[in-house]
Structure 1
Amino acid sequence: MAARPHPDRRRAAQRFGRLAEHAARLLLRFKGYSILACDLRTPVGEIDIVARRGAVVAFVEVKSRARVPDADSLSPIQRRRIVRAAEAFLSRQQDPRIECVRFDLMLMAPWRWPRHIRDAWRADD
């Protein structure tokens, strides 16, 4: 069993994660997206950012790590949880203008430009 990180280290990681999510929201706004929800929690999963541009709704998972290769670690279980949370969110939205749903990944690392991977995976993957 892995040891738990020291509380100070855990707080620093949480602070970096919040900062990364804030930076991701700013970047998405700069790219023309409207932010519909942040830190969306549903009974079946959690989504970092729900953004919309035109008829496209993007469910964005933000990964912040010390190194970029580490940030690309999103397990199939995590993907399924995000898909289920997105389905729960969409079931409450009765907007016929939504034509496309996408699952994006935003990779954040210190001293690196954010990397926005559009359509990083599909609901049926």
Structure 2
Amino acid sequence: MSRRAAERGGRRAETLAAWCLRLKGWRILARRVRTPVGEVDLIARRGRIVAFIEVKARATNAGAELALDDWRLKRVARAAEALAARYVKPGDDVRIDAVFVVPRRWPRHLENVWHG
């Protein structure tokens, strides 16, 4: 798969993940936010929870799970720290979530995947 096709697929997966989260009551605050220390695919809020979300699109659930390793989660966590001042209010709970997007399945939202 070319880089361009992978980029297009990633954007589609992020859009699908964002709609899934909206249907569950989340408000999407930002998409594809880059920092010098990493990137966050989605930033969402529901009540007093702010979630920094990594989206993984793969052919299978197992492939999506394998794609979410400690190295990637650390990058998301560092980016979340860099972005917290912009999106987190006093008293908010902050967490790192993941959404796995697999063909012909509803996106799977995993809460609080990083405990670093």
Alignment TM-score > 0.5, same fold: yes
Counterpart residue type for residue 11 of structure 1: R
Q: Structure 1 83/23 Cα, relative in aligned 2: closer, same or farther at 3 Å?
A: same
| Residue aligning to 1:64 | 57
Greater RCO structure (CA 8 Å; 6+ sep): 2
What is the DSSP-based 3-state SS (H/G/I as helix, E as strand, rest coil) of the residue aligned with 1:38?
strand
Q: How far did residue 120 of structure 1 move? A: 1.6
1:40 to 1:13, Cα distance in 2 relative to 1, 3 A:
same
Out of 30, 55, 78, the position equivalent to 2:72 is: 78
Indicate conservation of the 8 Å contact 2:50/2:88, yes or no.
no
RMSD (Å) for aligned C-alpha atoms:
1.5
Structure 2: distance between partners of 1:89 and 1:78: 16
TM-score norm. by structure 1 comes to: 0.84
Structure 2-normalised TM-score?
A: 0.90
Of 38, 49, 52 in structure 2, the residue corresponding to residue 45 of structure 1 is: 38
Shift of 1:92: 3.5
Q: Gaps spanning 5+ residues in structure 1: where?
A: none
Which digits, 9 at most, give the CA deviation of each residue in 1:33-58, with x for residues without a partner? 11111000011110000000011001
Structure of greater Rg = 1
Distance 1:69 1:61 in 2: 16
Q: CA deviation at 1:115?
A: 0.6
Structure 1 residues 94 and 25: CA distance shift in structure 2, 3 A: closer
Q: How many residues align?
A: 115
Percent identical residues:
49
Q: Structure 2: any 5+ residue segments left out of the alignment?
A: none
